[in-house]
Amino acid sequence: MGMKHSGKSTLSRMLAWHMKGKYRDLDTLVEAEYRSDRTLTCREIYRQHGREFFQGLEQLAAERLAEDLSRGNVAAALGGGTIDNERALRPLSGLGVFVYLQETADVLYERIAKGGVPAFLDNENPYEDFILLYNRRTPRYEELSEIIVRLDGGGTEASFALLIKTLEENHYVW
């Protein structure tokens, strides 16, 4: 778990490969839950249908993810905003280890801004809005996670090495 662009999908995919397991991405499952005549990304679904609709899809996707997690040997990436959706978190509770990929606010904002302002940020003051969101979500991530990996702007390989080291130190990687 972690904020948008913290490396959740990339590092979870690498972890699944490392542990010879399966990889699941909640955002991909949300997009699959969406029934339309065309494929939309999570950003597009959120923008077109709003937060409540998106969180309903996220709950359904989390229920599907929970089925996979209950079978074991799965590394899953949650969406950046899943932390704000109790209905999506509930089915996942107790089905694995929540790892918080903590990145600095400035590094995250720089990564996010490269792709344009996401639907959940105010177009007029996106940086200020992001900082408020970051400061609100951080304590919640810390509260729900069993492990915190402080990435500090490292690249993919360095971040993955740090993730594995932290998991091993906590006796979670086999």
Map out the domains of the chain with their CATH numbers: 8-164 (3.40.50.300)
Over the stretch 63-100, which tens digit does the pLDDT of each residue have? 999 999 999 999 999 998 999 999 999 999 999 999 99
> Which pair of tokens denotes residue 56?
């309903």
For residues 21, 17, 1, 5, the Cα torsion angle rounded to the nearest 10 degrees is -150
Q: Indicate if the pLDDT at residue 173 is higher than 80.
A: no
pLDDT at residue number 174: 60
Q: Indicate if the pLDDT at residue 138 is higher than 90.
A: yes
Name which residue leads in pLDDT, 154 or 2. 2
Dist CA 161 CA 152 (whole Å): 13
For residues 15, 17, 21, 23, the Cα torsion angle rounded to the nearest 10 degrees is 70
For residues 59, 60, 65, 69, the Cα torsion angle rounded to the nearest 10 degrees is 80
> The pTM is what?
0.89
